[in-house]
Amino acid sequence: MPTNRVLVDNRKAWHDYEIMETLEAGLVLTGTEIKSLRGGKGNLRDSYARVEGHEIWIHRLHISPYAQGNRENVDPLRPRKALLHREEIRRLIGKTREKGLALIPLKIVLSHGLAKVELGLARGKRMYDKREAIAERETDRERERVLKHGREE
């Protein structure tokens, strides 16, 4: 079994934000939440992370209730705590306050049986930035297509 297995991915974040750096944090979950995530029942689409006090909390991370769970199931949208070292939290506090950057959950992975969330320090893209990225991607595809067909002939 691979050591890191991606359970949930937030591909839209790469489109909406310019990711400056990423870091991995532990995630505090209940047993039924882990079981639900292993079944692929999570959604990071509108989620974000915030520094509250000296802790990092992830908001709007949706984990569907586990089908076989009963009273152990919790609110699917409850805030969940991310585990980071104190120095990392202090550094993130400075960057999010001073530079206007946001913390965005990019993916949730299972690493050696533990759930980890990959957080991205991100700046929101403007509409023209998104258009530029799409145009650049299409020119790259066209260039690859021309190179591929040029070699075949």
CB burial readout 62-77, b (16+ within 10 A) else e? ebebbeeeeeebbeee
Average pLDDT, the chain: 84
Q: Which residue has the higher pLDDT, 131 or 153?
A: 131
Residues in the chain: 153
Where in the chain are the domains? Answer: 4-125
Is residue 82 packed enough to be buried (19+ CB in 10 Å), middle (13-18) or exposed (0-12)? buried
85 pLDDT band, cuts 50/70/90, is: very high
* Per-residue CA distances from 78 to 32, 102, 129 (Å): 14, 20, 33
Residue 75 has pLDDT above 90, yes or no: no
Tokens at 88, concatenated: 């990392």
Place of tokens 């691979």: 2
Percent of all residues in the chain with a pLDDT value above 90, rounded to a whole number: 10
pLDDT at 1: 46
Is residue 83 packed enough to be buried (19+ CB in 10 Å), middle (13-18) or exposed (0-12)? middle
Largest CA distance in the chain: 65
Whole-prediction pTM value?
Answer: 0.74
pLDDT in tens, 13-69: 887 888 888 899 999 888 888 888 888 888 888 888 888 888 999 999 888 888 777
DSSP secondary structure string for all residues of 57-94: EEES-EEPPPTT--TT---TT--EEEE--HHHHHHHHH
CATH match of 4-125 with 3.30.70.360: no
pLDDT at 2: 54
- Average pLDDT rounded to a whole number, residues 140-150: 84
